[in-house]
Structure 1
Amino acid sequence: MSSMFSKIRQAAALLKHIDFDQLAKIAGKVDLTKVMDGFSKMDDQQLNGLMKLMGREKHRELPPINPDFYEISDRLNAADSALQLRVRQFMETEVKPLVNHYWLRDEFPFELIPKFGELGLAGITINGYGCPNRSFLMEGILAMEMARVDASIATFFGVQSGLAMGSIYSCGSDEQKQEWLPAMNKMEKIGAFGLTEPEVGSGAAGGLTTTCKQTADGWVLNGQKKWIGNATFADLIIIWARDLDDHQVKGFILRKDTPGFSVEKIKGKMALRIVQNGLITLTDCVVEEKDRLPHANSFKDTANVLRMTRAGVAWMAVGCAQGAYISALDYTRKRKQFGKPIASFQLIQNHLVEMLSNLTAMQTLVYRLSELQDAGKLKDEHASLAKVFCSLRTRDIVSQAREVMGGNGILLEHDVARFVADAEAIYSYEGTKEINTLIVGRAITGMSAFV
């Protein structure tokens, strides 16, 4: 008799989890007498197990979404960790609410420029001239934090901070640095970087068709540049041109009001739509000697700038992958099919684990890459290997993120569609997979496969 009362009490405890409205709905579908009879036939172990299961389902707390599975960020000091969180908050509160609107319309959110200026982070690795003088590791981490929200904004910042400011800092005179770098740090002046041409991309080292020639009035520039980010609104553009006299590549600071300079916005892009890429035409543009970069006298000097920024692009790929992974995991924990979250199904978990595995490998690679850069040991092949691997794996991750979302994965409101598209641009710029592969191949075999 006591055993019967015990089971009744346990059954009553189970029914506490169901309110009266739920009980009424259940009564219309099942025979509650048979349910109670089923309870009475359970032994204590079965009843206790059922109660634990119901309690766990009701009170289950999901783990936080953490794309840094190996906790690499824990290796940062307190100041760097605080800066990372500051930029993350800025991107979440100031940038994220805007990006889908501007991405869809192929426009740039100019209202963000003064807010970026308040951060004071442009030219982050530059020593002096009002710049932060932080590590290359932090430059990479900030590129990742920006790209995990939007790769276009990360690209805009990378062009300003890395390519344009980096060219002036590496190749410019002190007078040029004093004139431009403090204002660019505050985003009072916006820069662009003009290397790629309509017919010259990967072959820039030996095939630039944009020319320069020294005259009594200065340097005369002629030619075209294509895919130049920020070009439509930049105050200055770093132009790389081949000297007609000595056939060496030289660098110039071209001011936007220079006669003979024109720029046309490139339209119809499927990726990085917020970035305002331009087709620049130079027709007898005269650049004064004071605006020639005195330490840019061969393509090797151009390559030094590219080497420094290519590591940042690898970090950007990690950020894009992080953003897709975060969105996908969050979605699968909320989206229900067949009565429960799709994250509880084995095939979905397999996709998520593969995404996290690739992401973690990418993170550990770029962290070590930046350590080499901070130690002064970075080589072309180091940056190229990171660019190849990370951009390839990002493609995989965004594809799986799109897959676990089903049809909703193509909607901008879930963000993953934007990450899928932007990953294609990251895959190609700052050196294609093939070119970067050949750089690494040359390093490990001692044989050049370049044409």
Structure 2
Amino acid sequence: MTFELLDSDFYGYQSLLTDQEKAALAALRDYLETEVRPIVNGYWDRAEFPFEIVKPLAELGAYSFAWEETKPFANSAVFRGFVALEMARVDASVATFQGVQNGLAMGSIAATGSPEQREEWLPRMSRGEIIGAFGLTEPLSGSDSARGLRTTATRDGDDWVLNGSKRWIGNATFSDVTIIWAKDVSDGQVKGFIVPTDTPGYTATKIDGKISLRSVQNADITLENVVVSERNRLQNANSFKDTARVLRLTRAEVSWSAVGNSIGAYEAAVAYAKTRIQFGKEIGGHQLIQDLLVKSLGNITASLGMVVRVSQMLDEGTQRDEHSALAKTYTTSRMRETVAWCRELFGGNGIALEYDVARFFADAEALYSYEGTQEMNTLIVGRTITGQAAFV
């Protein structure tokens, strides 16, 4: 299958990939374009998830790009970023599903689990036999999770008893396991647990009425005396620093998704500009339309350069929290501008789902907020700049 650079990759960053990575990305792109793009608007409109894509994505390796049985990073971080980009340029909901499965859920096990836990869970998750979710955010604890986590874990012999609640947990209405982060009542430290969702006392309820990422099945989770064995406690997750380690690895890929979402809106706008006739010619021939497209491409190109470098730093072992935080805060801000300009180009048609741009415009709001709000990522970078923490 022939690999072609995206026109929206104006400086050709995809040329950095190896031939093997280009082939894998070409196969993924072909599936997304032929099988996923035609169905996503309907699922988004109905707020339903397209379960028929789960196994084909597994066969394409979408849940094993980052992790193998006993070691992380089987592929370059730049390649994994382009995977997130390709998914988001078709549908951010699909990108979010894959990011939760491959990044947050499998990533938690890979980064903080024991070798035995990695061997037990990751192969089946990579094949799509087990779907995972990631339970950190709570109804009363979002940005302050490091200090304000209210879900508790109490040791009882060889078991742990979990009590509390979680909110906005993606994949959680149909996940087989959820990674639950809870505060150990004995030492006050945050620990992680692999919780099968059929465990008594575990309840997940779908959150309805969303205007963004409507195909993502977010849930409220209630934990009432949920008993989890010590065997399912993530053995190397002993404080929130370990939770943050997982988030640092995935936050950069959310930045890639933001670039992909921008590209999806931009590509829709370019196609529309070449076909929509006003004042006797295609609107792409008008100066103000070209201005919107050029500003959008500038945002995309600048953001793409940033995320490529951040991912290279991850491969080099030099990436720190502030690096991924700056990428998240910058790319999602530029995404908000870009999708607004692209929606503007469509005029009244820009609010109709059939033209795609409305979906990218709406989905941008969720990408802007999750995996660290704009404000929190700004404070992470600000602390590095000034040497002073301004979180409270």
- Whether 1:213 and 2:148 are equivalent positions in the alignment is no
Query: Which residue is 1:148 aligned to?
Result: 89
* TM norm structure 1: 0.84
Q: Deviations over 1:287-336 (max 9, x none)?
A: 01101111001000000000000000000000000000000011011000
Within the candidate set 148, 168, 182, 2:123 is matched to 182
Within the candidate set 129, 137, 143, 2:78 is matched to 137
Comparing 212-221 with 130-139, which one deviates more in the overlay?
Answer: 130-139
Query: Which residue is 1:223 aligned to?
Result: 164
Query: Which residue is 2:14 aligned to?
Result: 73
Q: CA deviation at 1:116?
A: 1.2
Structure 1, gaps ≥5 residues long: 1-63
Structure 2: distance between partners of 1:84 and 1:362: 20
Query: Which residue is 1:382 aligned to?
Result: 323
Structure 1: distance between partners of 2:28 and 2:200: 39
Q: Secondary structure at the match of 1:302?
A: helix
Q: CA deviation at 1:131?
A: 8.5
- Whether contact under 8 Å (2:164, 2:224) holds in the other structure is yes
Query: Which residue is 1:308 aligned to?
Result: 249
Higher Rg of the two aligned structures:
1
Structure 2, gaps ≥5 residues long: none
Structure 1: distance between partners of 2:211 and 2:64: 29
Query: Which residue is 1:56 aligned to?
Result: none
Q: Secondary structure at the match of 1:154?
A: helix
Structure 1: distance between partners of 2:93 and 2:71: 25
Query: Which residue is 2:368 aligned to?
Result: 427
Q: Percent identity?
A: 55
* TM norm structure 2: 0.97
Within the candidate set 275, 279, 289, 1:338 is matched to 279
Query: Which residue is 1:369 aligned to?
Result: 310
- Whether 1:97 and 2:43 are equivalent positions in the alignment is no
Query: Which residue is 1:409 aligned to?
Result: 350
- Whether contact under 8 Å (1:236, 1:254) holds in the other structure is yes
Kindly provide the amino acid, as one letter, of the partner of residue 299 in structure 1: F
Query: Which residue is 1:122 aligned to?
Result: 63
Q: Deviations over 1:171-214 (max 9, x none)?
A: 11222111110010010100000000001000000110000000
Structure 2: distance between partners of 1:186 and 1:129: 16
Within the candidate set 287, 296, 314, 2:228 is matched to 287
Q: Deviations over 1:225-252 (max 9, x none)?
A: 0000000000000000001110000100
Q: CA deviation at 1:75?
A: 2.0
- Whether contact under 8 Å (2:203, 2:222) holds in the other structure is yes
Higher RCO (CA-CA < 8 Å; seq separation 6+)? 2
Q: Secondary structure at the match of 1:448?
A: coil
Q: Secondary structure at the match of 1:212?
A: strand
- Whether 1:242 and 2:183 are equivalent positions in the alignment is yes
- Whether contact under 8 Å (2:71, 2:110) holds in the other structure is no
Q: Secondary structure at the match of 2:51?
A: coil
Runs of 4+ in 1 over 6 A off after TM superposition: none
- Whether contact under 8 Å (1:65, 1:330) holds in the other structure is no
Kindly provide the amino acid, as one letter, of the partner of residue 240 in structure 1: W
CA distance 1:333–1:187, change in 2 (3 Å):
same
CA distance 1:364–1:132, change in 2 (3 Å):
closer
Kindly provide the amino acid, as one letter, of the partner of residue 34 in structure 2: T
CA distance 1:273–1:319, change in 2 (3 Å):
same
Q: Secondary structure at the match of 2:90?
A: coil
Query: Which residue is 1:31 aligned to?
Result: none
How large is the Cα RMSD of the aligned pairs? 1.3
CA distance 1:436–1:131, change in 2 (3 Å):
closer
- Whether contact under 8 Å (1:121, 1:132) holds in the other structure is no
- Whether contact under 8 Å (1:130, 1:182) holds in the other structure is no
Q: CA deviation at 1:120?
A: 2.0
Structure 2: distance between partners of 1:440 and 1:152: 28
CA distance 1:276–1:188, change in 2 (3 Å):
same
Structure 2: distance between partners of 1:402 and 1:380: 33
Query: Which residue is 1:447 aligned to?
Result: 388
Q: CA deviation at 1:123?
A: 3.4
Q: Secondary structure at the match of 2:169?
A: strand
Q: CA deviation at 1:65?
A: 7.5
- Whether contact under 8 Å (1:120, 1:131) holds in the other structure is no
- Whether contact under 8 Å (1:124, 1:131) holds in the other structure is no
- Whether contact under 8 Å (2:289, 2:345) holds in the other structure is yes
Kindly provide the amino acid, as one letter, of the partner of residue 91 in structure 2: D
Comparing 301-310 with 119-128, which one deviates more in the overlay?
Answer: 119-128
